[in-house]
Amino acid sequence: MTISTNAQHLLSLLARKSFRLGQFKLSSGGTSDYYVDCRTTTLDAEGGWYTGQAVAELLDEHGIQAEAVGGLTMGADPIVSAVAIATAWRAMEAARQNQPKPQVLNGFLVRKAEKAHGTGRRIEGFCREGARVVIVDDVCTTGASTINALEAAHEAGMIVAAVVCLVEREEAKGRPAVEAAAQGAPFLSLFTAAQIRVEHVKQLDAA
């Protein structure tokens, strides 16, 4: 599979900063011989840049049109900000070069539960009934956090145009569960955990 330069840089950073081999207990209750913590990459200055650019390019590649990008706090938080900023930067660059303006995505975050004070909202940021949105997540194992965000977006009356995760662990039940909750929207992943593992081992061998 051919991937963009931005995605290649992101893959390298994820393999170096976010991937660990060992014995780990997962949030699903299972165990694994590896662990991926994307936040150490998406919260990194360089990693955040490549995250936003790579996701924006993935949406372009698949012709996904939307008004906003959002996901469940907190794994999705840095991805949402990175993608929103990346699309704004791309639009400004296009305007500077007198080229057609690409889409700009605003951001929203989904709380795990509604606020018990103030407005009591579960979605912070962009939220408009009928708007097309993209749901993002960092790692998809069982898909529970992604499904949580999907349900919140649907309850708010928004239309999910696509679901994107940075790393798919390719668990037997993860993708089917997300696809069912997405109600026909495509489920896209930038990388599989197997790809991250291969890059991680390659870096170890080269060290």
Task: Count CB atoms within 10 A of the CB of residue 42.
Answer: 27
Domain that holds residue 55: 48-192
Per the domain annotation, does 95 fall within a domain? yes
pTM higher than the cut 0.85: yes
Per the domain annotation, does 85 fall within a domain? yes
Domain containing 166 — which CATH number?
A: 3.40.50.2020
Query: What is the full per-residue pLDDT of the chain (207 aa) written as tens digits?
Result: 567 899 999 999 999 999 999 999 877 777 899 999 999 999 999 999 999 999 999 999 999 999 999 999 999 999 999 999 999 999 999 999 999 999 999 999 999 876 655 556 899 999 999 999 999 999 999 999 999 999 999 999 999 999 999 999 998 789 999 999 999 999 999 999 999 999 999 999 998
Per the domain annotation, does 67 fall within a domain? yes
How far apart CA 99 and CA 2 sit, in angstroms, is: 26
Which pLDDT score, from 0 to 100, does residue 172 have?
Answer: 79
Closest CA to 177 of 159, 150, 158: 150
Residue 32 in tokens: 């694994």
Which pLDDT score, from 0 to 100, does residue 4 have?
Answer: 85
Task: Count CB atoms within 10 A of the CB of residue 71.
Answer: 31
Which pLDDT score, from 0 to 100, does residue 171 have?
Answer: 84
Which pLDDT score, from 0 to 100, does residue 2 have?
Answer: 62
Provide the number of structural domains found in the chain.
1
Distance of CA 194 to the CA centre of its chain: 17
Which pLDDT score, from 0 to 100, does residue 67 have?
Answer: 98
Which pLDDT score, from 0 to 100, does residue 120 have?
Answer: 64
Angle subtended by helix axes 174-182 and 144-155, to nearest 10: 0
Q: Is beta strand 132-140 parallel, antiparallel or unpaired with respect to 106-110?
A: unpaired
DSSP string, 54-114: HHHHHHHHTT---SEEEEETTTSHHHHHHHHHHHHHHHHHHHHTT-PPPP--EEEEE-SS-
Per the domain annotation, does 114 fall within a domain? yes
